[in-house]
Amino acid sequence: MRLSRTLKALGLTVATALAPLMASGAQAAGTMTVAVAIDPGSWDPIDTFLVDWSSAANNIYDGLTARGADMKLKPGLATSWEFLDNNSRIRFKLRENVKFHNGEPFNAQAVKFTFDRLLGAEGKKGPQQSNYNTIDHVEVVDDHTVDFVMKQPDPVLLTKLAGYGAMIVPPKYIQEKGDDHFNTHPVGTGPFKFVEYNPKVSLTLEANPEHWGGAPKLDKVVTRFISEANTQVAELQAGRIDVATLIPFGLAPTVEKSPNLDLISITGPTVVSLRLNTKEGITKDQNVRKALIMGIDRDAIIKAVLLGHAKPIASFQSELSFGHDPNLKPLPFDLAKAKQMLQQAKVPAGAPVKIDFRGNDATFREVAQAAAGFLQALGLKPSLQPYEPPVLLNDIIPNGKTGEAWHQAWGGWTFDYDNTAYLMYHTGEKWNPYDNDPKLNEMLEKQRTIYDVKERENLLQEIARYVADKALEIPLYNQNTIYGVNKRVKNFDAPADRRFRFTETSVD
């Protein structure tokens, strides 16, 4: 009796103490909160390559070109452009009457300053310069015209000007306040301006009503840094964040089942394959490689392991990628045919197939296990070798110490097949330890010089067909980009590359 009374009193006290907190889940009207995994530490465009940087900073800055959620290129701070002097010079007409958030005017000087900085000593210290070193320098023609003088042709340049290192920064502000200040107090021309940055916690932006693209509908965008996926989902379920960007496949059903949440699963940039060793082991034989592709049921893996959040691929690129060929189909799954091909190639039963993979990738571990199951059914002896990612990426692959197969996962924001193809198949590249194919080299080099869109696309598609025919890898799947979004969010135009632009987005 006494005990129960004490407990009741205790319960009441706790309830009273916590009552005022009940309301804390509700979000302020006009404010949208997005969770990303990593705090990039600096908001300067030339300091980072992190997608999480772009998820927030794509709202602060503009590039000369822009790319929306439909992945189509359109004018940004440049209203038009033309190729001159045999494509060695690109002339951009700049948008007029645009101001940076601090009131500084946007003009040709700002463009020149941005690229001098990116291509000079300051940019050398960061990871962005190497993406833009096909540009020799930028010349000011008049206040609203600039010329990009090219060192070598770069057909992907216009896309690359839409983001990351090419975002236009304010010259006076940086010169007066210094780089350190700019890192933590970014100023751009974008639809949202900087309010507050709390390292490792959050970044707050507010609407820039004078933006040339129209005033944003939201008042504020808060980006919170939450590196644990379970925590992002919990915050999403509790209604304290509106968009979660870190949702592993295993948690997708949780979001899907929540009545106040939407799961958005769209084609993303990341592709995954098992690259094959063409120098040693049974995979030296092209027909054996084809048999391995046909012996693994990739659709089953997508369904069972990735819960359907992926698509099969025929070449190492997303279907959004420039160079993707919808007519190129992957080799079909056919166990009987695969067995027969192995027999014809005189592969002994129990021949080893070692798969090297990144040990921290829990999803791929399951994929590799499933693939090993299929290889076993072919009468081979598969084994799995997990590695610490830096060891695999810096030693095992570049130094050619792999087993018969290894894990390749790649996603570039430019969505251009060149991004993967050149690095994966050209002789001497880090990710290509074994192959040396002069014909392939020639095609890879040639496509880098072609500005004609159709011609280049044809060549890229030819490269993809060539690689598929040589069976250099087992193409596995193109992983989806997954978002968890609160239903109160309206007009959330989900971008495949996670580079958000919240001009049209609003919250109830």
Partner 1 sequence: MAGFILKRLLQAIFVVLAVTLIVSFAVRLSGDPAIMLMGGGGNVTEEDLQNIRQALGLERPFFVQYFSFLQGIFVGDFGRSFMGGTPVSTLIAQALPSTLLLAFTSLLVSIALSVPLGVYAAVNRGRWPDQLIRILSLVGLSFPNFWLAIMMVLLFSIVLGILPPSGMEGPESFIMPALTMAIILTATNVRLVRTSMLETLSQQYIMVARSKGLADRVVLYKHALRNSAIPLVTYIGLQFGGLIGGIVIVERVFNWPGMGTLAFDAISGRDYPVLQGTITVLALFIVLINLLVDIAYGLIDPRIRTE
Extract the tokens encoding 154: 């770069």
Q: Which amino acid is at 376?
A: Q
* Contact stretch for partner 1 (CB under 8 A) within 3-11, 311-319, 384-392, 466-474: 384-392
Q: Which is nearer to partner 1, 25 or 253 (CB)?
A: 25
| Size of the chain in residues | 508
Taking CB under 8 A as the rule, does residue 153 contact partner 1? Answer: no
Cβ-proximal residues to 113 (8 Å cutoff; 6+ apart), any chain: 169, 171, 174
* Contact stretch for partner 1 (CB under 8 A) within 57-65, 67-75, 166-174, 411-419: 411-419
Chain-centroid distance of CA 90 in Å reads: 27
Minimal distance in Å, beta carbon 280 to partner 1?
25
Taking CB under 8 A as the rule, does residue 284 contact partner 1? Answer: no
Q: Which is nearer to partner 1, 163 or 475 (CB)?
A: 163
Minimal distance in Å, beta carbon 380 to partner 1?
32
Site size toward partner 1, by CB under 8 A: 57
| Pairwise CA distance, residues 79 & 91, whole Å | 11
Cβ-proximal residues to 291 (8 Å cutoff; 6+ apart), any chain: 337, 338, 339, 341, 342, 345, 347, 378
Helix, strand, coil percentages in the chain from 3-state DSSP, rounded to 5: 35, 25, 40
Minimal distance in Å, beta carbon 237 to partner 1?
5
Q: Let me know: does 61 contact 48? Beta carbons within 8 Å.
A: no
Minimal distance in Å, beta carbon 40 to partner 1?
6
Total Cβ atoms within 10 A of residue 395 = 12
| Pairwise CA distance, residues 223 & 448, whole Å | 37
- Collapsed DSSP state (helix, strand, coil) of residue 372: helix
Residues 171-230 that bind partner 1 (CB under 8 A): 180, 183-184, 198-201, 224-228, 230
The CA–CA distances, whole Å, from 356 to 249, 251, 426 equal: 22, 26, 21
Taking CB under 8 A as the rule, does residue 125 contact partner 1? Answer: yes
* Contact stretch for partner 1 (CB under 8 A) within 125-133, 188-196, 346-354, 436-444: 125-133
Options 31, 231, 376, 506; binder of partner 1; rule CB under 8 A: 231
Options 391, 396, 450, 494; binder of partner 1; rule CB under 8 A: 391
Taking CB under 8 A as the rule, does residue 38 contact partner 1? Answer: yes
| Pairwise CA distance, residues 482 & 264, whole Å | 6
Total Cβ atoms within 10 A of residue 186 = 26
* Contact stretch for partner 1 (CB under 8 A) within 112-120, 363-371, 415-423, 482-490: 415-423
Total Cβ atoms within 10 A of residue 268 = 21
Options 99, 137, 220, 240; binder of partner 1; rule CB under 8 A: 240
Residues 95-124 that bind partner 1 (CB under 8 A): 124
- Residues in contact with partner 1 by CB under 8 A are 18, 21-22, 24-25, 38-42, 47-50, 124-131, 133, 160, 180, 183-184, 198-201, 224-228, 230-231, 234-235, 237-238, 240, 388-391, 393-394, 410-412, 414, 419, 422-423, 430
